[in-house]
Amino acid sequence: MSSPTRSLRSGMGIRVPRIVLFVFGGVSELESEPETPAAEFRIAIVGPAMSLALGLSFSLLGVGLAGPGFVNELGTDPGAAMAELGPAATLLLWLGPVNVALAVFNLVPGFPLDGGRVLRAALWYSAAISTAVDPNDGDATGCGPHANAFRADSGRRAVAQIHRRQIASKRSSVLAGA
């Protein structure tokens, strides 16, 4: 729930009509794509960041409820330390590591997981800053034969632009040969 809230609150103006929940998290259905790599990153990172914050908070609360000698006893006799916990401390000390693990899992770079979106934002940003655009004609330079596909304002559309150019090139060669 934190990613859709972040996208609406931050002024990005991206509506989230539906969220599909899975065992290890959820996928936000966005009405439009973020316009910048920074917006993509902010939307993607807030979910794992919230899981990490919850995990650390639950763990600290659990240790606090367990009492002052819990950490020392955990180091010497973990079984006895865990056996002496009350139900609230046990629940919190279980939820803490599970949420931290969830944050790490969600950062695995597989799309549409948050990690995939974070990686996409990083690649998009990298393509945007590594491409110099000639101010006279707007052509991108320095990225090889498909440099124009990596415009600073639309790095994420690179594959589509390359594909359109290939189709246009094929059309013009067919027309020239006819």
CA 142, CA 153: separation in Å to the nearest integer? 16
**pLDDT digits 0-9 by tens, 85-123:** 999 999 999 999 999 999 998 888 876 678 888 888 888
Residues 122 and 137 in one domain: no
Over the chain, what is the mean pLDDT? Answer: 75
111 and 150 share a domain? no
Q: What percent of the chain has pLDDT over 90?
A: 21
Quick one: 81 and 153 in the same domain? no
Domain that holds residue 58: 2-126
What sign does the dihedral 31-45-117-24 (CA atoms) show?
A: negative
Alpha-carbon torsion 142, 121, 14, 113, what sign?
positive
Peptide bond into 78 cis (omega under 30): no
Report yes or no: 150 and 127 within 8 Å, Cβ to Cβ: yes
Does the pLDDT at position 37 exceed 80? yes
**Taking the alpha carbons of 114, 23, 96, 73 in that order, is the dihedral positive or negative?**
negative
Cα–Cα distance between 96 and 111 in angstroms, integer?
Answer: 25
Domain count, the chain: 2
**Are 104 and 173 members of one domain?**
no
Q: Are residues 30 and 86 in the same domain?
A: yes
- Note whether 90 and 168 are same-domain residues: no
Q: Do residues 38 and 62 both lie within one domain? A: yes
